[in-house]
Amino acid sequence: MLRTNKGGRPKAVVKRKEHIAVMCTIIERKVIEVNARRAGLTLSEFLRELGVKGRVNQKIKTLPKEVLQLKATLNHLAANLNQIARKRNKGEDLNALDRALLNQEVRSLQTLSHTIQKYLS
């Protein structure tokens, strides 16, 4: 039986086999490594792009702080609302604490909506 697809990583069309050695001081090496890390690239990618293009396009792998905070707030709100919905779906009535929590979550969503609107305008 002939098996054509073994799976795994696909073969590179152009394989990089050439090595270039660059002499530098330990300080220069650390600076280059920090710059590569800031650009979101490996040391090889950073030096190759700088040598071929004369500049480095940064890869943005992290979201801005405000977006991460928004995501955390939405996850928190969703978890609280999910607990309340689960209770209601079981046929249980909401007690005073649950109703207060629900009202608080609604106010939080309204505040969040205004914050997003202000940020976008």
Q: How many whole angstroms separate alpha carbon 64 and alpha carbon 92? A: 41
Q: How many whole angstroms separate alpha carbon 107 and alpha carbon 84? A: 16
Q: Above 80 in pLDDT, residue 29?
A: yes
Q: Above 90 in pLDDT, residue 107?
A: no
pLDDT value of position 47:
94
Q: Return all residues near 66 (Cβ < 8 A) that are at least 6 apart.
A: 119
pTM to 2 decimals? 0.43
Q: What is the pLDDT of residues 55-91, one digit of tens each?
A: 888 766 667 787 788 888 888 888 888 888 888 888 8
If pLDDT is split at 50, 70 and 90, which confidence band does 3 have? low
If pLDDT is split at 50, 70 and 90, which confidence band does 33 have? very high
pLDDT value of position 61:
61
